[in-house]
Amino acid sequence: MRYQQPLKQILIAHPEHWDHAEMRPAVRENFTKVILCRSSALGAEVYASETEEKVVPHTCKSRSCPSCGHRATILWQREQWASLPDVPYVGINFTMPDVLWPIFRDNRHLLRDLPALAAAVINQYLKTKHGVRGLVMVVPHTFGRRLNFNSHLHTLVSAGGLRDSDNCWVVVRDFNKRALMHMWRFAVITYLRESLQAEVLKSSLDNDSIRRLLTTQHERWWNIYVAHFTSKAQFLRYAGRYIRRLPIAQHRFVKITDHEIQFMRNDLKLKKWVLTCYSVADFISALADHVPDRYRHTIRYFGLLAPGAKALTGAAVFALLGQEKRPRPRRLNWAASLQRDFGRDPLVDSKGQRMRWRRRIAPQAI
């Protein structure tokens, strides 16, 4: 069965599971925006032709909204396509043992430093082994395929970098997975130990148990995945799947009742799509874990992509590669986006006449 706006239906029908004082403010704020998206409560723009009038409600712009997040992702992909040079790229997936996931879930203030740790590992590796600075983009993820909390990082790294000694672009093909794993493992464990010592790490375990846990995890193997991309578009398509919206597509919902929610997920072990069932309370709780706190970035830039370095060396990188830097694409308005994606102009009435902006409807007090 195909549901219309299933996520909004679930949130409207069950506010008791998320609209309460114990829930994080960011979750309540974003879920409320999702409910009000494209409603008169957020205000609207009025367009009219000589014979017809059309009211276009405002959208919520929330990172938890499927439709708003999809549009934001497309705009981000267009901008990155223009700003990144055409060089080979490597995707590095930094994971951690599952026993550490609850620590970061219960201490969300520690999540914000994970991208910086991963970038420091990559920058140190490139500098020590190859003497270069590369382009680094880190996309933090907090979810698994069952919507469980699974803290890991997807990283885009240029297969090469700028060597400052002679201002030359050097191609780098060797990314040693074992070396990166050891550096990443040391960085995360050291960070957690320092957080525990500074008394900013909270857990149901006592401090001695946490120390033993960290020692055990420091001695085991951590999985690090290194993939070579044929183009930057391949990584941008992958990274854009979930960066600005909740980690479940609207079409994956199979059944929604007052007590149960069923959706399809891709099981990598079985290599097929399987049906997953959640109670309503567990489903909303799982989704709430993946709503980012306010003022938390879903993409971080380091190395030559860091804002300061990009302003100083961006033009030089393109010149060394013999490429022309593309201008930043114009931001598509909502009408142009609909016309491009769905082949219809929303500002043309039923008789083919052009509709023009007339007035604005102010948002209602909530």
Residue 94 falls in which region: left (phi positive, over 0), alpha (psi -120 to 50) or beta = beta
366 residues of the chain, pLDDT tens digit each: 567 889 999 999 999 999 999 999 999 999 999 999 988 889 999 999 999 999 999 999 998 898 888 888 888 988 998 899 999 999 999 999 999 999 999 999 999 999 999 999 999 999 999 999 999 999 999 998 889 999 999 999 999 999 988 889 999 988 999 999 999 999 999 999 999 999 999 998 899 999 999 999 999 999 999 998 878 888 888 888 778 888 888 889 999 999 999 999 988 888 899 999 999 999 999 999 999 998 888 899 999 999 988 888 888 899 999 999 888 888 888 888 888 877 889 999 988 899 999 999 998 755
Cα angle 330, 335, 341 (rounded to 5 degrees) comes to 85
Which residues are registered as beta bridge partners of 137?
156, 301
Cα 348 from Cα 361, distance rounded (Å): 20
229-271 residue pLDDT tens: 878 888 888 888 778 888 888 889 999 999 999 999 988 888 8
Q: Which residue has the tokens 């007035």?
A: 359
At 343 the pLDDT is 84
At 138 the pLDDT is 95
Whether 157 and 136 have beta carbons less than 8 Å apart is answered as: yes
From the list 96, 25, 7, the residue with the least C-alpha distance to 293 is 25
Cα 64 from Cα 59, distance rounded (Å): 12
Token pair for 52: 């017809």
8-state DSSP, 37: T
At 155 the pLDDT is 93
At 70 the pLDDT is 85
At 326 the pLDDT is 87
As a whole number of Å, the CA-based R_g of the chain is 23
110-158 residue pLDDT tens: 999 999 999 999 999 999 999 999 999 999 999 988 899 999 999 999 9
Cα 22 from Cα 31, distance rounded (Å): 15
From the list 3, 40, 52, 1, the residue with the least C-alpha distance to 363 is 40
At 211 the pLDDT is 95
Strands (E) across the chain are located at 44-48, 53-57, 89-94, 135-143, 149-158, 160-163, 168-171, 224-229, 253-256, 260-267, 272-279, 300-303, 356-361
At 366 the pLDDT is 53
At 337 the pLDDT is 84
